[in-house]
A and B are shown apart, each in its own frame.
Chain A
Amino acid sequence: MPVMRPDDVGLMVREGYPLKLDLPIEPRFREGDRVLTRNLNPHHHTRLPRYARAKLGTVVRDHGVYPFPDTNAHGEATPQHVYVVRFTAREIWGNSAAVTDTLCLDLWDDHLDPAPEGR
């Protein structure tokens, strides 16, 4: 078991716990891809908020490979790509939202499917 030492504390407070993994795992999506979030309602942990389920968005950045929180909370890292996915406020909240507002979420491969053709 790793042990925390006094010398480790400064770095931990400044940097947190970097979780990025250097693994040769192919991304399922590229910048600009349209995606549809899954309608997940698990009893376990998930980083996909309720308001963002079954919503259409656009991949705007690939952060690289990280543990998948939904399984990592339960002992399985399931490493995969994490993306910044941008949604319009209207996609999330409907037509009363401001037309120019957007919302970005960090989402993992297993939160996403390709958007249906033309959407």
Chain B
Amino acid sequence: MNGVHDCGGMDGLGPIRRVSNEPVFAHDWERRTFALMLVANANSYWNIDESRHFIERLDAVHYLQSTYYEHWIHSMEAMLIEKGVITQQEVDAKIAAFSAKQGTQQCR
């Protein structure tokens, strides 16, 4: 798939910003996302190549504007919905519940 993920050799994306002493996980949700990925693999919901293709199929603009673990969580969400493990309604309901609890619309 000739998508934006295949950016080897592309110019104009700006410098790579390096963070000294970068933590393994910048946020707690990233740690949980990593654990969820292990569970999804171990339970054979998908394989590594399938998971990469789900990431490639994210919206191109969103892909370029989002972080590494955002790619993971959004592709996993798409996979679990496509495979019927969870529903979009369940995801929406959870987001609404968390947003209400935190008093914000921005829980991602």
For the complex, count residues of B whose C-beta is within 8 A of A.
Answer: 18
> With A69-B52, A73-B50 known to touch, is A49 a contact of B6 (CB < 8 Å)?
yes
B38's partner among A2, A3, A9 (CB-CB below 8 A) is A9
Chain B residues closer than 8 Å to A119, beta-carbon distance: none
Tell me if A101 is interfacial: C-beta within 8 Å of chain B.
no
Question: Which of A27-35, A38-46, A79-87 lines the interface with chain B?
Answer: A38-46
What are 10 A-B pairs with beta-carbon distances under 8 A?
A2-B42, A2-B43, A9-B38, A17-B41, A45-B1, A45-B53, A50-B2, A72-B50, A73-B50, A93-B9
B residues lining the A interface (CB < 8 Å): 1-2, 6, 8-9, 38-39, 41-44, 47-50, 52-53, 56
A residues lining the B interface (CB < 8 Å): 1-4, 8-9, 12-13, 17, 19, 41-47, 49-51, 67, 69-70, 72-74, 92-93
